[in-house]
């Protein structure tokens, strides 16, 4: 039975302990999560270049006017973010699902080893790995082009980091780093499906596709919904491998929203010049956060509709 | 007939798994083996195995590029962040699971909202300004605090885990005269060790691998540069751009420690993610 609120009275000594024990985490939360958001909400109305460039000047909605009417690079970064997220999620989710289905079979020898191996990339630093991919995807001596020409797939070397293909390369690396995580999520979901459902289906003589489509996927519904949610939120935020590998280039071909906002505050590459525009950067990051928020809400609404379909 | 198609299906499945495994492992193996090649082998693109093992690359990375110093920074910062995260999340998670208090609803709502609101690494700017005001911006403590952060997901993980422990245990201890803090320390902590282990592992990994936060926080304070940041910086130095063998030796130095940690703890890593997904 649940204790009714207020019935249980505590002494002040206990209250001090309770609030004292909550404090360390709560203070970090206020300073590192809440304060920065309040800061950008204030400075999005200012023109401010930082120390040495004079005091912040209140400019009202000027930053937003510039953002919405006169900043093609920002809108390119928005489109790029959607392309990246769609490409990554669209490929990594089916791949992870397939891998989980395969590794969930009961009589599979070495399943633990295979899972650990597929999970391996997720423990690596995406920034350090971006350096390694820089070598692998190198135009002239890169391993990727070497194998492609060896297999006779391409005749001339593909410029993986050029304007045309850089986004694809960045998506491939994103998939490389995320596959293991999603596979494990799917495995957890698959293991939650009771065995007897499959046994009765077996008696009815359904094949593999029917079983997957009519039993596994619907029963995986809630887990799938959560995995998609996580993958959306994360894909829209990915930037450290992009920052190291392409620095958003060439010609902004891989510039994503949060990297674009970042470059108004800090240099993307060490040594490169950065003209700090904290006010404008604040406006960009608020709009970027808003876009992610809208996508998340739309997804939640769509997911709810999907639930109703099954009822 | 059925048997044959079954076997073909099985072979196809194994081919796909083999491709996925190769895709996952190849870049790591390439880095580790590449770190033992000469620069000429790397730039001319030889086979995957080195012609001779150039252990000198590591010596060069260790001594000339001062990686030992960066490695030490990485280790201290990661361990400290890990410890702080475990303590703060277990305290908050325990209180949230067991007590009602004024402002609890508001706090839970704020935490939940912040799981989905993100302004990205831009947040680091106001934070560094704040730290500068209290003259903390150049200390290791500041870096550790920022890297620890609020760990909201982990707080909720602990909360969920504690909720699964019978409350009678707390009550018995309370009757014996235990304070709340002591119940947490002597009864709860030992019982929630599995979830704390997972939080520790993931926090260690994330801190060790972090690039952007550490980069920003050490920009004006090179003394605290970590291994990950130092290795990535090699890409930008004229000296190393042509010296890919040193870059790969550095990258290997940055990934080998987590690799070793992973080999010994991969079960916990995987269990942690599955536990999180079922509860979350």
Q: Tell which residue, A242, A249, A40, A180, has the closest CA to residue B211.
A: A242
User: Which pair of tokens denotes residue A200?
Assistant: 């009765």
Prediction pTM value: 0.91
What's the rounded Cα separation, in Å, for the pair B119 and A259? 11
B158 close to A (CB below 8 A):
no
Tell me: pLDDT of B67 over 80.
Answer: yes
Place of tokens 């891998």: A99
Contacts of residue A158, Cβ cutoff 8 Å, sequence gap at least 6: A139, A144, A145, A148, A165
Q: How does residue A10 score in pLDDT terms, banded at 50, 70 and 90?
A: confident
Q: Residue A214, CB half-sphere, CA atoms under 13 Å: how many?
A: 11
Instruction: Report residue A122 CA to chain centroid gap.
Output: 13
Q: Which of A24, A121, A180 sits opposite B91 (nearest CB)?
A: A24
Tell me: pLDDT of A154 over 90.
Answer: no
Query: Would the CB atoms of B277 and A184 count as touching at under 8 Å?
Result: yes
B107 close to A (CB below 8 A):
yes
Q: Tell which residue, B79, B82, B157, B131, has the closest CA to residue A32.
A: B131
CA distance B87 to chain A (A): 9
Residue B145 sits at φ, ψ, to 5 deg, of -60, -45
What's the rounded Cα separation, in Å, for the pair B219 and B143? 12
Q: Are B224 and B140 in contact (CB under 8 A)?
A: yes
Compute CA distances B15 → A113, A115, B12, B186, whole Å: 17, 16, 5, 51
Query: Would the CB atoms of B101 and A15 count as touching at under 8 Å?
Result: yes
Tell me: pLDDT of A233 over 80.
Answer: yes
Percent of chain A beyond pLDDT 90? 59
Tell me: pLDDT of B279 over 50.
Answer: no
The pLDDT value given to residue A211: 82
Q: Residue A206, CB half-sphere, CA atoms under 13 Å: how many?
A: 16
The span from the first CA to the last CA of chain A, in angstroms, equals: 32
In the stretch 124-163 of chain A, residues with CB closer than 8 A to chain B read: 124-136, 140-143, 146
Query: Would the CB atoms of A28 and B208 count as touching at under 8 Å?
Result: no
B238 close to A (CB below 8 A):
no
Number of C-beta neighbours around residue A221 at 10 A: 14
User: Which pair of tokens denotes residue B107?
Assistant: 């706090």
Q: What is the 3-state secondary structure (H, E, C) of A70-102?
A: CCHHHHHHHHHHHHHHHHHHHHHHHHHHHHHHH
ipTM entry: 0.90
Mean per-residue pLDDT over chain A, rounded: 88
Query: Would the CB atoms of B120 and A288 count as touching at under 8 Å?
Result: yes
Specify the long-range contacts of residues A107-112, CB closer than 8 Å, at least 24 apart: A112/B267
Mean per-residue pLDDT over chain B, rounded: 88
User: Which pair of tokens denotes residue B110?
Assistant: 């704020």
Tell me: pLDDT of B217 over 70.
Answer: yes
Q: Which of B21, B99, B233 sits opposite A18 (nearest CB)?
A: B99
Query: Would the CB atoms of B280 and A226 count as touching at under 8 Å?
Result: yes
What's the rounded Cα separation, in Å, for the pair A21 and B155? 13
pLDDT (tens digit per residue) in A160-182? 999 999 999 999 999 999 999 99
Q: Which of A18, A112, A237 sits opposite B95 (nearest CB)?
A: A18
Residues of chain A positioned with their CB less than 8 A from the CB of B265: none
Contacts of residue B270, Cβ cutoff 8 Å, sequence gap at least 6: A115, A116, A119, A184
Higher-scoring residue by pLDDT: A151, A72: A72
Query: Would the CB atoms of B101 and A24 count as touching at under 8 Å?
Result: no
In the stretch 247-266 of chain B, residues with CB closer than 8 A to chain A read: 247-248, 251, 254-255, 258-259, 261-262, 266
In terms of DSSP H, where are the helices of chain A?
A: 12-29, 35-43, 62-69, 72-103, 111-119, 126-136, 143-150, 166-191, 195-203, 208-211, 217-219, 221-235, 240-245, 257-262, 278-310
pLDDT (tens digit per residue) in A91-147? 999 999 999 988 887 777 788 889 899 999 999 999 999 999 998 998 877 888 888
Q: Tell which residue, B70, B107, B115, B102, has the closest CA to residue B233.
A: B70
3-state secondary structure of B237: coil
Q: Tell which residue, A26, A10, A22, A29, has the closest CA to residue B94.
A: A22
């Amino acid at each position: 039975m649940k204790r009714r609120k207020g019935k249980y009275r505590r002494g002040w000594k206990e209250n001090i302990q309770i609030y004292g024990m909550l404090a360390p985490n709560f203070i970090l939360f206020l300073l590192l999560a809440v304060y920065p958001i309040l800061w950008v909400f204030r400075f999005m109305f200012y023109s401010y270049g930082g120390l040495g460039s004079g005091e912040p000047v209140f400019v009202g909605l000027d930053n937003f006017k510039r953002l919405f009417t006169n900043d093609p690079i920002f809108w390119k970064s928005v489109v790029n973010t959607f392309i990246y997220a769609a490409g990554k999620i669209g490929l990594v989710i089916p791949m992870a699902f397939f891998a989980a289905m395969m590794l969930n079979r009961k009589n599979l020898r070495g399943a633990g080893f295979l899972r650990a191996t597929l999970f391996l990339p997720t423990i690596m630093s995406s920034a350090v790995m971006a350096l390694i991919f820089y070598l692998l995807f190198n135009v002239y001596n890169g391993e990727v082009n070497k194998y492609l020409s060896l297999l006779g797939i391409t005749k001339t070397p593909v410029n993986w980091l050029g304007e045309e293909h850089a986004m694809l390369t960045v998506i491939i690396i994103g998939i490389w780093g995320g596959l293991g995580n999603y596979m494990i999520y799917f495995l957890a979901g698959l293991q939650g499906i009771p065995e007897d459902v499959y046994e009765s289906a077996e008696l009815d003589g359904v094949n593999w596709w029917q079983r997957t489509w009519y039993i596994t996927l619907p029963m995986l519904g809630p887990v799938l919904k959560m995995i998609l949610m996580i993958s959306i939120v994360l894909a829209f935020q990915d930037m450290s491998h992009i920052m190291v590998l392409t620095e958003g280039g060439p010609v902004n071909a891989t510039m994503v929203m949060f990297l674009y906002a970042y470059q108004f505050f800090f240099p993307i590459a060490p040594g490169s010049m950065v003209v700090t525009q904290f006010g404008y950067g604040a406006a960009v990051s608020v709009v970027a956060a808003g876009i992610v928020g809208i996508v998340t809400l739309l997804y939640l609404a769509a997911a709810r509709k999907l639930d109703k379909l099954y009822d | 007939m059925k048997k044959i198609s079954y076997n073909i299906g099985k072979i196809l499945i194994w081919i796909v798994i083999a491709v996925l495994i190769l895709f996952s492992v190849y870049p790591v193996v390439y880095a580790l083996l590449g770190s033992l090649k000469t620069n000429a082998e790397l730039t001319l693109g030889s086979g995957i195995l080195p012609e001779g093992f150039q252990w000198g690359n590591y010596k060069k990375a260790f001594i000339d590029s001062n990686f030992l110093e960066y490695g030490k920074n990485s280790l201290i910062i990661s361990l400290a962040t890990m410890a702080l995260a475990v303590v703060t999340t277990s305290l908050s998670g325990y209180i949230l699971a067991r007590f009602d208090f004024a402002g609890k609803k508001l706090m839970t709502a704020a935490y939940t909202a912040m799981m989905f609101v993100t302004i990205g690494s831009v947040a680091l700017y106001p934070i560094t300004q704040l730290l500068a005001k209290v003259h903390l911006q150049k200390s290791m403590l500041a870096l550790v605090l920022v890297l620890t952060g609020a760990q909201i997901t982990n707080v909720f993980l602990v909360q969920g885990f504690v909720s699964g422990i019978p409350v009678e245990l707390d009550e018995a201890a309370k009757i014996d005269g235990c304070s709340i803090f002591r119940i947490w320390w002597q009864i709860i902590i030992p019982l929630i060790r599995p979830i704390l282990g997972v939080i520790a592992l993931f926090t260690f990994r994330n801190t060790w691998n972090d690039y952007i936060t550490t980069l920003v926080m050490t920009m004006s304070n090179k003394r605290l540069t970590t291994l990950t940041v130092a290795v990535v910086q090699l890409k930008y130095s004229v000296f190393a751009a042509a010296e890919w063998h040193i870059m790969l030796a550095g990258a290997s130095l940055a990934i080998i420690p987590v690799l070793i940690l992973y080999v010994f703890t991969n079960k916990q890593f995987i269990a942690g993610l599955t536990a999180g997904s079922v509860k979350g």
